[in-house]
A and B are shown apart, each in its own frame.
Chain A
């Protein structure tokens, strides 16, 4: 099943893929290819999206990374689609119209990392309080101690 998808990806998109786990395939793709690739995967049975996991690699100078995890509920296989996002241009096209369940996940990724999902209909703060909009607390550059309430001095 995964071998088939791997060959199709190679022939249709020219993308190399590697096995991530025994039941998961990892595909690295470019931002402009993302929507076509997601549509292709949905047509090929990977119609159950799990999540969008953004990773901040800025301390290593590699920008951000967005990982989309999709499952095929019939064959129980997973595909992880990986997109690199440079630090200067934190935008990625939305896939929330292809996979509606990913809309809140993109919204969460936006409020925690500041990655803008272009075309997502609802990029508003969800988990954070409204006054904390734009703090992006899951970024590595976020200083946790700065926002800590001052504790009482020990006597």
Chain B
């Protein structure tokens, strides 16, 4: 575990009731111990995992979520089309650009608004920036749960350069509210492009070689993560895994490629897949996507078109609906947006990839050792903001 049990925030509770989540486990019940993994634990945000253990073996895992529920889907109904983005982007603070892009595309589809080409390119650059930022944290926390905290610090240094670029662009580092229906909110200045290029430079020339040398193909890391939490191809579909976890099982599902939005159709990149389907494969998918994303940003900056970055978006949108998927950092994020002809959304349903991964997790955590729980948890690459919404 890296940390001792007490410092990792475990508490021991002796289960009093005879049944576990409605399932009678019979005689086994007598010797089971329920551990509470959370509510606050070092791997991620506020969430509680109820872990039933028999000695060192995990018998059953049941997630208890809802600690960061903000009911964003309801809040959006009280907003106008433009300022609903402040709720949409808060689905997850780490990569907020993907969610804003998805919502904006859905709103534009209903309203029949065509976005200028330059806005598409800015969106692409920002989305990939968000993906890099998110993947950096994902990489860092994956090694972090095993007790090594250096990679997280390295990742945060690289992340800082991207946050600087976002700050130059929108004035905010995290909740940028920069992509709106009808384009993007601010002019992409030369200073922003300059900052973005220097951030990508740092990532490609400093972070990737240094990190790759130490923490990729690392024998200790491989011992802990290879062959753990294996999901074969068919099972990944059956469990409904999403995003990097699905691609690590050998399924090339990437909305950017399958159904291009923004400027992805014009750029050249590859979909990273792995065949093994274990924790290490999921880690490598995140790693290689990071390298791909840096290339996408470079291409988008090279082919940056001239022109307007925003068109007029009507105050009232005609009745209609749209279902839009975007490839968010953590997987395919779906938006079911409905308009009734008013000044704001009538209903917005957000399909979160982390939610899908979370409920596939109990199936992965059967008959494993207790020490593998955090490894599998971190490899599924979930964010609590978008589990609860």
Query: Which A residues are within 8 Å of any B CB, using their own CB?
Result: 20-21, 23-24, 47-51, 53-56, 60, 67, 69, 73, 76, 78, 80, 99-105, 121-122, 125-129, 137-138, 142, 144
With contacts A47-B237, A101-B239 taken as known, whether A126 is within 8 angstroms of B66 at the C-beta atoms is yes
Contacts A47-B237, A137-B74, A144-B78 given; does A53 touch B65 at CB 8 Å:
no
- A76 near B336 with CB under 8 A, answer no
Task: Find chain B residues with CB under 8 A from A104 CB.
Answer: 355, 358-359
**What B residues does A47 contact at CB under 8 A?**
237-238
Interface 1/0s, chain B 345-363, versus A by CB < 8 A?
0010101000110111000
Report B323 CB to chain A, min CB distance, Å.
6
Residue B73 lies at the interface, judged by CB distance under 8 Å to chain A: yes
**What is the CB-to-nearest-CB distance from B332 to chain A, in angstroms, rounded to a whole number?**
7
Known contacts A23-B259, A48-B240, A49-B240, then 7 further A-B pairs from the complex at CB < 8 Å, ordered by chain A residue? A50-B334, A51-B334, A103-B359, A104-B359, A127-B65, A128-B66, A128-B69
B94 at interface by CB-CB < 8 Å:
no
Minimum Cβ distance to chain A for residue B232 (Å)? 15
**Could you tell me the distance in whole angstroms from the C-beta of A58 to the nearest C-beta in chain B?**
12
Instruction: Give residues in B with beta carbon < 8 Å to A.
Output: 21-22, 65-66, 69, 71, 73-74, 78, 109, 237-240, 251, 253, 258-259, 322-323, 325, 332, 334, 336, 338, 340, 347, 349, 351, 355-356, 358-360, 388-389
Note all chain B residues with C-beta closer than 8 A to A142: 74
Q: How many Å from the CB of B356 to the closest CB on chain A?
A: 6
B71 & A69 in contact (Cβ 8 Å cutoff): no
Q: State which of A55, A73, A144 has its C-beta within 8 Å of the C-beta of B338.
A: A55
Q: Which residues of B contact A50 (CB under 8 A)?
A: 325, 332, 334, 351
The 3 closest A-B pairs by CB, nearest first: A101-B240, A53-B349, A51-B351
